Chains A and B, each alone.
Chain A
Amino acid sequence: MVEIHVAGGRDAFAPGETLRGTLQWLSEVPPQTLELRLLWYTEGRGDRDVGVARRLRIETPSAVGSSPFEFELPSGPYSCSGRLVSIRWALEAVTRPGGETARTELVVAPAGREVELGSAGARSGAR
C-alpha cells in the first residue's frame, strides 16, 4: 500500500509554489525502490505526451515507512482544458518490484485554476 498526502489537503497550486507532503508505504516485503514523480500528461484526441518534472527516489526503503517530500513546481505547462487536448498534473508513487502505485491529481496554473481553452467547458459533464 502506498499513499500520497499533500500538506493541507490541497490539490491546486500556482506555478513556482512549493508542494509539500508525505509519502507513506506499507508492504509485506520491503520494496527495492520507491519513486515519487511529479508529472504532467496530455489527454485527448492524439497520443499521450508525458513529462516528469520532479522525481524523488528512495532506495531500499524499509517495509513500512514514511518520507516527507517537497517539490518546487515548475513554471509550466499550465493545467488546461480544450476540446482537442487537456494537460493535467499528478503526483504518482510507484514501488519496484511489485508495481504498487498511488496517484493524486493536481491543478498547476495561475491562481490554481485550470485554464479553459476556447469554449471547451460549454457542455462538460453533460452525459
Chain B
Amino acid sequence: MRARENPFRTERIGRLRFRHPTLPLDAIHRRLHALGCRAAIVGPHGSGKTTLLHELGSRLTGEGLRIRRWFLNADSPSPAPRALVREARSLGPGDVLLFDGAGHVSRPTWWRVMRACRRAGGLLVTAHSRGLLPTLVETRTDAALLAELTCDLIGPSARRIRPLLEELRAAHAGNLRDVFLALYDLEARDDPRLVEL
C-alpha cells in the first residue's frame, strides 16, 4: 500500500481528537481554569498528553491568550537553564506557556522556570509522573479507546480486528502512538489480518 493511502499515516493520527475514558474535554477545560491555568497533564507514553495539550492550547487561544510552546523529549539536547528562565520571565498575564515534556528538565531547573513564570497567565505542562504542578488530568488508554480511535481511522471494520488491536496494545504497553505505528507497518506490508477489511 502506498504511504499516502495508508489509513494509519502520521498526519491522520495527528488529527485524532483527544478522548478520556471518563472526563469530557469541557470538564477538563473548566478544571484548568479552576486551577488558575497552572496544571500538569500526567500520563504514560502514547496516552494522549500532547494531543490534549494542543486542544487546550487552541481553546486558550480562542479566549484571547497568547500561547508559547516548549517541547522536550528524551532525545532533546539539554536546554540551557538560563535561556529557559529568561524566556519564562518575558511572559506576561496574556501569555500561557505550554511545556510539553517538562519532566525532562532537572528538578532545580524546573523550580527556576516555575518561579520565572510567576507573571504568566498560565503554565500547562505534560509529564510522566505527578509532582510538577497540580494534576489536571491523568491520561490513560484502554481497549475501548483504542477501538474507538481505530474506528475513526478505518471505519466500522475496526470491530473485526479487535483481537489484533488488543494484541498490539498489550505488546506496546498501552502506548497508542506505537500501536498505530505498528498498524501502519502491517498495512504497508499488506498483512493478511488487515487485507480483508
Query: Closest residue to A83 on the B side, CB-wise?
Result: B188
Query: Closest residue to A84 on the B side, CB-wise?
Result: B3
Which of A1-9, A15-23, A96-104, A116-124 is the contact stretch? A116-124
Contact B190 A122 (CB under 8 A): yes
Shortest Cβ distance from residue B107 to the other chain A in the assembled complex, whole angstroms = 30
Contact B3 A124 (CB under 8 A): no
Which of A30-38, A39-47, A56-64, A68-76 is the contact stretch? A39-47
Contact B11 A86 (CB under 8 A): no
In whole angstroms, what is the CA distance A47 to B195 when docked?
A: 25
Kindly list chain B residues whose C-beta atoms are within 8 Å of the C-beta of A46.
10
- Partner pick for B4 among A47, A88, A123, A127, CB 8 A cutoff: A88
Kindly list chain A residues whose C-beta atoms are within 8 Å of the C-beta of B6.
44-45, 83
In whole angstroms, what is the CA distance A68 to B26 when docked?
A: 46
Contact A123 B195 (CB under 8 A): yes
Contact A45 B190 (CB under 8 A): no
Interface size of A in residues (CB-CB distance below 8 Å): 22
Contact B1 A120 (CB under 8 A): yes
Kindly list chain A residues whose C-beta atoms are within 8 Å of the C-beta of B154.
127
* Residues of B48-103 contacting chain A, CB below 8 A: none
Contact B1 A83 (CB under 8 A): yes
Contact B2 A81 (CB under 8 A): yes
- Partner pick for B3 among A120, A122, A123, A125, CB 8 A cutoff: A120
* Residues of B8-46 contacting chain A, CB below 8 A: 9-11
Contact A45 B10 (CB under 8 A): yes
In whole angstroms, what is the CA distance A110 to B12 when docked?
A: 29
Query: Closest residue to B8 on the A side, CB-wise?
Result: A45
Contact A45 B2 (CB under 8 A): no
